[in-house]
Amino acid sequence: MPILVAPSLLAADFTRLADEVAAVEQAGADWLHLDVMDGRFVPNISFGPVVVKALRPLTKMPFDVHLMIAPADPYLAAFAEAGADHLLVHPEAGPHLHRTLQAIRALGCRAGVVLNPATPVEHVATVLDLLDIVLVMSVNPGFGGQKFIDSQLAKIAAVRAMIAASGRDIRLEVDGGIDAATARRCIAAGADTFVAGTSVFHSGDYRAAIAGLRGDS
């Protein structure tokens, strides 16, 4: 699979979001990653469906919406209606992961499961038939700018083996401490999609940063 890059809006300049979205799209970003945090499931609060809806007309990039909220189920429809293309949920955010993934697909969105650093890979083993994306967190969720957790490389490799055995077209995404160097290590372990906040939005050259994550420079 080609390597995809999804800049994380959380690291953008919130006083000029429209300009930031246009800039990363022009710089070659594939998706826009939107981190939704409720201050309960993770120790931070970000934004909700209103922001997603406001941004939707501004870009053709798919919206990769990571729901760091609990419970997630009551809000799936609102984010789908706001313009989410992908809805990614944590196994810990509800009692019935299989049902949640069914609901996401019924809303017309691509479905994803997010594995925190301490979440076992077995959580995705029995729902691979409903998945379009597996997101491995290489930091603990809630804040940008954290250091990459090396132990997650083995998890990436384990998920890649599961995906290969399933025969399904599932994206293996990684989020947390991603820069050109850590991206190369993740690609070697089997990742094909990267969420990058600080390394893109805090760089002086968005295009060069995104190319670096793909290994183009």
Q: Tell me which residues are annotated as active site.
A: 35, 175
CA dist., res. 61 & res. 44, Å (int): 26
How far is residue 38's CA from residue 34's CA, in Å, rounded to a whole number?
13
On whether the CB atoms of residues 46 and 71 are closer than 8 A, the answer is: no
Beta bridge partners of 196: 7
193 SS3 class: strand
Report d(CA 113, CA 202) in Å as an integer. Answer: 27
Asked if the peptide bond before residue 7 counts as cis, ω within 30 degrees of 0, the response is no
